[in-house]
Structure 1
Amino acid sequence: MRDFDTNFVYISKLLRSDFKPFCDELTGLFDKLGIAWDFLEGTRDIWVRDFMPVQLGKNSFLGYRYSPDYLLGKERYISDQSKIAKSINLEFRPSDIVFDGGNIVLASEYALICDKVFSENHASKNDKEFVARLEKELGKKTIFLPWIAHPNDKNGDIYGHSDGFVRYCAENKILMSSHADSYPDEAEQIKRILEFHGFSVEQMSFAKPCYEYDWAYINFLQIGSHIIMPSFGGANDEIAKEFIARAFVGAKISSINCQKIASLGGALHCVAWNIFKKHNAANDTFMSA
C-alpha cells in the first residue's frame, strides 16, 4: 500500500474538541479537495496514526501492541485499538509485537522502521529471531533506520517514528527530512543505509534551519494525488513545498498551519489515519477492505 492508493482518512473526534479551529480548517480542506473522511470515536489522544492498525494491502490490516515507552506512567492516553477498529467494522490480524503505526514507512517491498523497535520489544539490536518474526508479520523485508535519543536536547526526538525522517515517493525514491541540519552524522547514516538497499535519497535542507521542527515538513499527509503539508508561516514553507513537489511529481499540494499541533510533537501524518476503503455502490457508503 502506498499513500497514493488511499482514498479515505480518519481523524480523532478529540481533535475537534481540543483543537477546534485547526480541526475545522483541516476538515474544511478535506471537503474542498473532495477527500472522504470521518471521525474516530473513543480515542484517548489525537495521534491516531500511532495506535491504529497498519494497512499492508487493500484487504490486509495488521494490529500490534501499542505500549510506547514515551507513555510510561501516562497509560490513560493509550487507546484501545481493538475497540476503535470494531466501531468502524474493521477486521485486522492481531500481533503481540510492541509497535507504533508512526514507525513504519512502506517502500515497495520494504518496511522502513526506526531501530527503536528492538528496545521496545526487549530485543538486542538486529536480533535475527526478532527480525524474522517482524518480517513474517509484515510480509515485508525490513530496513532499520538508526535512531538515537538526545535527552539533553529540548528538540530531540523521543518517539523514534520513521515517518518523521523519511517518506517513500515512488520506484526507488525517498524524500528525507532536514535531520542533517540538526544531526548530520545521523542523517548520513540513514542515507547510506537506504542507498545500500538501492534507494535514491533526497534530503530537505534549509538556509535558515528550524531545529524545533526539522521533522515536521516530512510528516505531511497524502491521500491519493493530494498532499497536505504542514506550514509554519515562514520562508521555509515554500522551500519545503518545492522539495515535496519535486519528489512527488504531479501531486496537488495544499498546506495548513501546524504550529500548535507540532509543538506537541506531531504533525499531519500523526493526526490522520489514511487508508483504502472499498466503495459499496449499493448504499453509497465506504466499507472497510
Structure 2
Amino acid sequence: MNCDYQKVSTIILAYPSNFKNEFSKCTSIVDDLINQLPHDINIQIVTTNEDSINQINQLHPDRIFETIKLEKWDDIWMRDCLGFINGNQFVKPIYFPKYCDYKNRWDYFKRINKASRKIINHFLSKPIVDLPLIWDGGNLVNNKQFGFITTKIIEDNPSFNQLYIERMIEERLEIKPIIIPRQKGDVIGHVDGYMSFIDHKKIALSSYPDMAFLKKDNEYLEQLRSIVLSYGLDLTRTKDRPIDEAIACNCNKFRRKGCFYTAKGNYVNNLRINNTVIMPEYTLSTKRETNYYNQSNKDIYQSMGFNVRTVNCDALAQFGGSLHCLSFTY
C-alpha cells in the first residue's frame, strides 16, 4: 500500500488555467509548486486543452511534462478523486464528497469518476479494482500497517456496517483500518487535515493555539493524540493556526455563510517528496503571526533533516484544501 513517506518518482497535478470554474484561480499555485519540485521528479499534468499545455511549457521551459487532455475535466483535488495504489493494482473508491451541495452535483461527480479512470489508465497503466465505498483519498493516512480514517467513511456509506467497511478496506488495501472520530464541526472529515506519517513509527499531528473558538478542536486533537499513542506510534506536532473563516456556499445548511472552513493555517497538509517537504505558507491575521507560523513549521521539518521548500497557498486554502490534497504522488 502506497504511503506518504515512501520513495516516489512522479507527481500528478491538474493545471486549471482554462477550467470553467473558480479553480482557475489556483493556476499560479500550481506553477509555484512546479517550481519547487525536485528536478528528478516526473510531472504528469491533467488539463483541458492545447492552450494550457502550451502555457505550462512556456512558463517552465526547464521541465518536461507528460500530459493528458480531458475536455471537461475541472477538478484540482487529485488526492481525493483518484484512489489508492496497492502493489500492481489501483484501488478506486467512489468519489462523491457528501458535504455542502453534493446532492445537486451528482452529474458532476459521475463525470469526474469516469474521467479519472482515463487518467489512471493513461499515466499508471495499472488494473483498476473497484472499491464500492464513497471515500475521498484525503481521508486516509497510513504506514502500510495502520490506516487512520475518520468516521466520515461510516457516515457516507450507510448501506454497510462498520465491520464490513473495515473488512473491505483490509482486503483491498492490506492495511488495518483505524476508524477515528470526525470532528463534529468539520464537514469535510479528512484525516489529512490533522495528521500525516513522517515514517513508519512517527506521525505529525496538528497543534492549535489556546483560543476560545478552538476549544472543541483542541479537545479533539487531544483525543487523536491519545489514539495515536495507543498504537505505539511516536508524535511530533505541527503548529497549525486555523482561521475562523467559513467558505461561502449556497447550500444553506448552516446559519453561517458557509458549511466548511478555509484551510488557511493548515501546515500538516504539506507535500512530502522523498527527502523534500513542500510546506504551505499563509498570510495570517497579523504580520507577526504570519512570520511565526510560517517559520516555525519550516523549522520543525528542517530539524528532522528534511529539505523544506515553501509555496504560498492563500488562494488554494479558500477552497478548503492545501498541497497534500492538490497532488497525487507515486
Question: TM-score band, normalised by the shorter chain?
Answer: 0.7 to 0.9
Q: CA deviation at 1:73?
A: 1.5
Determine whether 1:241 maps to 2:277.
no
The residue that corresponds to 1:162 in the other structure is: 191
Point out which structure has higher relative CO (alpha carbons under 8 A, 6+ apart). 1
Match of 2:138 in 1: 102
The structural deviation recorded for 1:140 is 0.6
Change (3 A) 1:89 1:136: closer
Output the aligned Cα RMSD: 2.3
Count the aligned residue pairs. Answer: 262
CA contact (8 A) 1:9 1:274 kept: yes
- Match of 1:63, SS state, is strand
> What is the match of residue 104 of structure 2?
73
Asked whether the 8 Å contact 1:179–1:214 carries over to 2, the reply is no
Q: 1:205 to 1:250 in 2, by over 3 A?
A: closer
Give the structure-1-normalised TM-score: 0.82
Q: Does 1:224 align with 2:274?
A: yes
- Change beyond 3 A, Cα 1:227–1:104: same
Q: Kindly tell me: are residues 174 and 123 of structure 1, through their superposed partners in 2, closer, same or farther at Cα, counting changes over 3 Å?
A: farther
Query: Per-residue displacement from partner, 1:188-244 (whole Å, max 9, x unpaired)?
Result: 1111111111112222336xx443547620111111221111001412101111223
Contact 1:116 1:147 in 2 (8 A): yes
Residue type at the aligned position of 1:195 = L
Residue of structure 1 equivalent to 2:81? 51
Q: Which residue of 1 aligns with 2:65?
A: none
Aligned to 1:287: none
| 1:98-138, Cα deviation, whole Å (9 max, x unpaired) | 1111111112411111111001111687x223222222122
* Distance in 1, Cα, partners of 2:173 & 2:124: 22
Instruction: Note the residue ranges of structure 2 that are not aligned, 5 or more in a row.
Output: 47-68, 245-262, 284-289
**CA deviation map 1:154-193 (0-9, x unaligned):** xxx3211111111101131110123575211111111111
Structure 1 residues 129 and 89, CA gap change in structure 2 (3 angstroms): closer
Contact 1:50/1:100 (8 A) holds in 2: yes
1:211 counterpart = 2:246:
no
CA contact (8 A) 2:84 2:137 kept: yes
CA gap 1:109/1:149 in 2 versus in 1, 3 angstroms: same
State the match for 1:112 in structure 2. 148
Contact 1:229 1:253 in 2 (8 A): yes
What's the TM-score once normalised by structure 2's chain length?
A: 0.73
Whether contact under 8 Å (2:139, 2:191) holds in the other structure is yes
Letter in 2 for 1:217: Y
Letter in 1 for 2:41: I
Secondary structure of 1:176 counterpart: strand
Residue 146 (structure 1) aligned to one of 181, 184, 187: 181
TM-superposition CA deviations, 1:245-272 (whole Å, max 9, x none): 34xx322110000000011101111111
Counterpart-to-counterpart distance in 1, 2:306 and 2:139? 24
> 2:28 maps to what in 1?
21
Helix, strand or coil: the match of 2:182? coil
Quick one: structure 1 residues 269 and 16, their matched pair in 2 at CA, closer, same or farther if it must change by over 3 Å?
Answer: farther
How far apart in 2 are the matches of 1:164 and 1:63? 21
Q: Equivalents in 2 of 1:7, 1:130: separation in Å? A: 31
Match of 1:7 in 2: 9
Aligned equivalents of 1:136, 1:65: Cα separation in 2: 17
1:20: Cα distance to partner?
2.9
Identity between Structure 1 and Structure 2 (%) = 24
Q: Do 2:15 and 2:27's aligned partners in 1 also have CA atoms closer than 8 Å?
A: no
